[in-house]
Homo-oligomer: A and B are copies of this chain.
């Protein structure tokens, strides 16, 4: 799990300014071990910085992705979500409400090797998502 100090260090090394908006966004992302949409991050950021714009959230979440501080999780049906960088894992998504939890399972390297062997692709990564219903939505 990436520390705030490491993140700040990365910004400094690349001469990227540590604005209050960035600092607070890093705070939010690194503290909660969750998955957020841009809109959710914008709402949270607004609580402490009412004047922040959603453009700034987009700018910075994309910047953080490029820097490898944040990972974008793309999955069907819904918006992208973002999570603070941690070890590789998979996700379960609720088809009803979009809630998402992590699944730590050994990377399916052998399936990647198989896919590489039967195709003319140079495969660099893979992604596995599970879809289902969370316990909250199950009760309804």
Contact = CB atoms under 8 A, between A and B. Distances in A.
Contact of A92 (B74, B90, B101, B121): B121
A105 B111 contact: yes
**What's the number of copies of this chain in the assembled complex?**
2
Of the candidates A114, A116, A130, A133, the one having the most CB atoms from chain B within 10 angstroms of its own CB is A130
B128 A111 contact: yes
A57 to B, nearest CB: 20
Q: How large is the interface on A (under 10, 10 to 19, 20 to 34, 35 or more residues)?
A: 35 or more
A91 to B, nearest CB: 9
A95 interface: yes
Contacts of A138: 122
A130 B120 contact: no
A124 interface: yes
A94 interface: yes
Listed from nearest, the 8 A-B pairs whose CB atoms lie closest are: A74-B76, A123-B132, A120-B135, A121-B132, A126-B130, A122-B133, A115-B130, A128-B128
Given A74-B77, A108-B111, 4 more contacts: A101-B119, A125-B130, A125-B131, A126-B129
